[in-house]
Amino acid sequence: MAESNTALRVLEGRHPDAPQQKDLDKCVHCGLCLNACPTYRELGIEMDSPRGRIYQMVQVASGAAPMDESYLEHMGLCLGCRACETACPSGVEYGKLIEAARTEIQSKVKKPFPWQQVEDFAYGTLVQTPWMLRLVALNMWLYQKSGLESLVRSTGILKLMGPFGKIEHLTPEAQLPTFFSQYGKVFFAEGERKHRVALLGGCIGNIFFARLHEATVRVLQKNGCEVVVPATQGCCGALHAHAGRREEARALARNNIDALLQTNYDAIISNIGGCGATLKEYHEILEHDHAYHDKAKRFVGKLKDVNEFLASIDLNMNMGKVDRRVTYQDSCHLCHGQKVKIGPRKLLKLIPGLEFVEMPASDVCCGSAGVYNIIENEMAEQILSSKMRNVNSVAPEQIASSNPGCMIQLAAGSRLHGQGKLKDNPQPVKHIVELLDEAYRNAR
């Protein structure tokens, strides 16, 4: 992320979305956050802990320290997992602070022209354009299904491709048809309709996790839900908020509010932990938008993670057995961002035949963190190796998660570091909803 000292150009003046003093002052520097932080656990470096990063933010805010290469490196190495928020006794909103720091960096630090163009295209055009995402899905599907992907991997040419070769193993499977084909449709409840809900598809999830979205629809239908997939919904803006592209996140928030508040739903459902955390913060993202702030609060009041929603209703127990030993990896943004930890475990324990085993440190990040495992691949791989030691210690047959990004990372981890049945199974990671869907399909 950082550039050389000779190339780094920083514009003067503070950004209106920069870290605010009242938020920085909440930190009493007690250090209880340190062991919760994945980068501090791996490196043992104070400046790569939440306390250390807040100290640096304070120094930059006061003008005592410059926004130099070191500052960019330490801010960039943060996963934004927010485990420190769970550990903090003072209520420091660290997620808010790191996003604010990155927003200021994004506005003031001038990146090399080619990299800036790639970033602008990825965030500004690609993830916000459904037809372009569908084209990506089609090309990737052809590449993977034609055998070309296997051929490229077998030649060893990836070793010569530098950083790209190192992250290629993280490439998820493209799924056709994409879930965009279900936009604008209504799926009726099985039996009596008890709830009317809207399902958010997101952006990348529609092309790499289309089958997960379809399983989510089926599980909701089994539980008396009429499921609407609003046609004009779009990307939630989570990736933009995490990267400091705040104005784009605001525009995407307004679009989704307009798309979903036109109809009165009992709940708005997200099955992606990372997206859900940002969706639940629309009222903060649009805090100073007088036209949308109240609408955002109404939107947030209806937003539920699918695990949270299913765990709160009278769940349909007409399930068949899923005879499997399963452990659960907490999605950071579901656990620490949305504070949803009990619901996923409750659902797993309700599945007949499923043996649920807790892994140590299940709420420590796996290293996925949005696009972190691509941008900061070396650190992500180090964190993943530690995670897989914890997974292997309970010898599961399958890993459950609640976030597609975690699923991609953990699937790669099981291929690289898995033991026993995890090593033999090329896709050992499933979303909890997929396990519920399997149980309903197994019912006689």
Residue that is last in its domain, among 312, 337, 357: 312
Residues 343 and 278 reside in one and the same domain: no
What gap in Å lies between CA 230 and CA 232, rounded to an integer? 6
Q: Is there a domain that residue 401 lies in?
A: yes
Residues 254 and 377 reside in one and the same domain: no
Residues 402 and 331 reside in one and the same domain: yes
Low-confidence ranges of the chain (pLDDT < 70): 1-13, 426-427
Residues 41 and 131 reside in one and the same domain: no
pLDDT computed for residue 111 by the predictor: 81
Q: Which of 435, 423, 414, 420 is nearest to 323 (CA)?
A: 435
Burial state string for 2-28 with b = 16 or more CB within 10 A and e = fewer than 16: beeeeebeeeeeebebbbeeebbeebe
Residues 210 and 226 reside in one and the same domain: yes
Residues 123 and 95 reside in one and the same domain: no
Q: Is there a domain that residue 4 lies in?
A: no
Peptide bond into 177 cis (omega under 30): yes
Residues 248 and 265 reside in one and the same domain: yes
Residue that is last in its domain, among 109, 134, 157: 109
pLDDT computed for residue 7 by the predictor: 46
Q: Is there a domain that residue 5 lies in?
A: no
Question: What is the CB neighbour count within 10 angstroms for residue 310?
Answer: 26
What gap in Å lies between CA 62 and CA 51, rounded to an integer? 17
Q: Is there a domain that residue 318 lies in?
A: no
Residues 301 and 192 reside in one and the same domain: yes
Q: Is there a domain that residue 340 lies in?
A: yes
Residues 308 and 397 reside in one and the same domain: no
Two structure tokens written together for 205: 């999830």
Residue 53: which CATH number?
1.10.1060.10
Q: Kindly tell me the sign of the dihedral angle through the C-alpha atoms of 406, 210, 240, 67.
A: positive
* Cβ–Cβ under 8 Å, residues 320 and 439: yes
pLDDT computed for residue 4 by the predictor: 37
Residue 185: which CATH number?
1.20.1050
Residues 185 and 305 reside in one and the same domain: yes
Residues 105 and 118 reside in one and the same domain: no
Residues 202 and 160 reside in one and the same domain: no
Two structure tokens written together for 285: 């993202």
Q: Is there a domain that residue 8 lies in?
A: no
pLDDT computed for residue 190 by the predictor: 96
Q: How many residues are recorded in the chain?
A: 444
Q: How many domains does the chain have?
A: 4
pLDDT computed for residue 171 by the predictor: 87
Residue 405's identity, in one-letter code, is: G
Residue that is last in its domain, among 133, 148, 170: 170
HEC letters along 15-75? CCCCCCHHHHCCCCCCCCCHHHCHHHHHHCCHHHCHHHHHHHHHHHHHCCCCCCHHHHHHH
Q: What is the CA radius of gyration of the chain?
A: 22
Q: Is there a domain that residue 3 lies in?
A: no
Helix (H, G, I), strand (E, B) or coil at 109: strand
Query: Which residue range forms the structural domain that includes residue 118?
Result: 113-170
174-215 pLDDT per residue, tens: 999 999 999 999 999 999 999 999 999 999 999 999 999 999
Q: Is there a domain that residue 7 lies in?
A: no
Q: Which residues contact 233 (CB under 8 A, 6 or more apart)?
A: 183, 200, 201, 255, 256, 259, 260
Q: Which of 173, 133, 214 is nearest to 411 (CA)?
A: 173
Residue 285's identity, in one-letter code, is: I
Q: How far is CA 20 from CA 55, 93, 237, in A?
A: 13, 11, 22
